[in-house]
Structure 1
Amino acid sequence: MTTSSNSKNPVETTTPDDSSMTPEQAAWFAEIFGRLVANVDTVLLGKTFVIRLGFTALLSEGHLLLEDYPGTGKTSFARAMAQSVKGTSSRIQFTPDLLPGDITGVSIYDQKAGGFEYHEGPVFANIVLADEINRASPKTQSALLEVMEEGQVTVDGVTHSVGVPFMVIATQNPIEQAGTYRLPEAQLDRFLMKASIGYPDHASTLRILEGAGTRAHDTVVPSIVEADVVIEMARVARLVHVDPSVNDYVSRLVDATRSAGEVRLGASVRGALALVRAAKTFAAAAGRHYVIPDDVKTLAEPVLAHRLVLDPEAEFDGVTASSILSQILIETPPPSDRQAV
């Protein structure tokens, strides 16, 4: 069930310089976004906000890090997102013996052709699930750096594009740290957001148990849009208006993370840019062609928390990046709505 033909982007209403989103485009964006979220919600029951974050990351051309316990539906989440946008998905199980070539692909000598032939790795998909990414060696983890930043891989000096849309959903287990390799700050910074699915509530658990006869990988959700519509949605999201006062608010929040007493390393400029990009998409998903301070406040924790490096003493005392950001949001006054619109 594809509906891209019935939900065309009203590009005719774009301003002559194509520099800002129109209210018509915002309504078109929000309508499709809502249907995408509702589609995945049939698989990942009761986790609407996390699903919204996932599609916000996808349409902001970013990547998502899920830190969660086993069995919370991470694989089903990635597969349902890919099916919703009529795209391809792949799953890479990260293990200590995984090699970079197992991700990016390898060149194999073809005796008949008398030359090397490139064989694509599982990273060539629209949505790639990097399961338990911290179980692989740092060398293997780094194989994702280029493709996450530039959408391409280089093997034997030859560059190969993975195409668009492209998104990495990486997972790590927060309780089992034996035999794992902590993701370096440079790689954490490549993820637009970090989130947690968590366990379903009682009502959602009952609905899941009612469908216990169907295995998770047998579940197929209908496609909502073609991949080219996703590309157009990402382009339109970049046109959402951001008032200078909102940019100033983002800057003050990021500055506050750097001066917080418990923080050894605050959010980078990439983090500030990521927050603005995500806020644009989040605003469009709400049917607005402009960002408001509440968009920034809602996304500050998932976008910035994983970019903070805390002092060891603070971590020992139980301080978390989320608690620091919550305090920063309280102490940093947002601009008024009148200024922000």
Structure 2
Amino acid sequence: MSSNQLDKKSEAWSALFSEPMSELVQRYTASVFFDKRLADADITGSLAHADMLAAQGIISTDDLAAIQRGMTQIRSEIESGAFEWKLALEDVHLNIEARLTQLVGDAGKRLHTGRSRNDQVATDIRLWLRGEIDLIAGLLRELQLALIEVAEKNIDVILPGFTHLQVAQPVSFAHHLLAYVEMFGRDEARMQDVRKRVNQLPLGSAALAGTTYPLDRERVAKTLGMEGVCQNSLDAVSDRDFAIEFAAAASLVMVHVSRLSEELVLWMSQNFAFIRIADRFTTGSSIMPQKKNPDVPELARGKTGRVVGHLMGLITLMKGQPLAYNKDNQEDKEPLFDTV
């Protein structure tokens, strides 16, 4: 089978159409060049789905072995950079499925039994985001420990405490830093709470109304380490609350990062002169050699606007959508990726 034949056959809906998709529409609607970062999650979810299909007798054990073998090769190709991503195949899911079919034949086609791209992408995003939340929560704990380490060295260092940015009462520098430990502790707890709602399985909802195949959704959820299954198929394929909730938690993280950054900028200025930031974390000026600029905290303060903006974008994306899945939801990925 030629590559072009494979691409055509992957367009399952093409039998209804009398002309090919416009190249402009193809480029406008394709997502593969940003959603390919979901590849590992897509493969992981597909392997769990295949395992369940075989356990339920929906596909054969030979099909399962072929799918596992093919996915191992695809994962290796992606990791090495040898995988060829094709715009004509629209997204990460069709690219992987087409390559799998190329490698293992009809077994690759049978992998899609009992599922739709709608519940597939919803599962992939949740799997990917769960992993990112775990990384972010770990980084927040490291940040807290770093602040505690600095605080322990500065218990006896006295700093003016401010209200209204006016000198108020003397405080320990350590006490001031530990305020941020509290903030980032709440952030980490929020991330863990969001994770519970991210970690639910939509797979098995198919396009919007489930499937007549005897799927074992609980088995798939257990294989993927998920805490439960989404209960309503219409909601499962179209819900992006978890992404909005993550963006809200991320926005609060960035608000706290921004507040700390603002204090570092102020404290480093000649007007305050409370702290020095090491040269390796600052920049100079081309015409004013006396300047040492706190570019890192300034950029962190600036990036907060991007994250908060993505929260607003995701809320606006969802506000007018009827049930169930709509192509609008393709626009959830870039803001979510950039937020992370």
Q: Does the TM-score normalized on the shorter chain lie above 0.5? A: no
- Please identify which structure carries the higher helix content: 2
Q: Which structure is richer in relative contact order (CA contacts within 8 A, separation 6 or more)?
A: 1
**Shorter-chain TM-score tier:** under 0.3
Say which one has the larger Rg.
2
TM-score using structure 2 length: 0.20
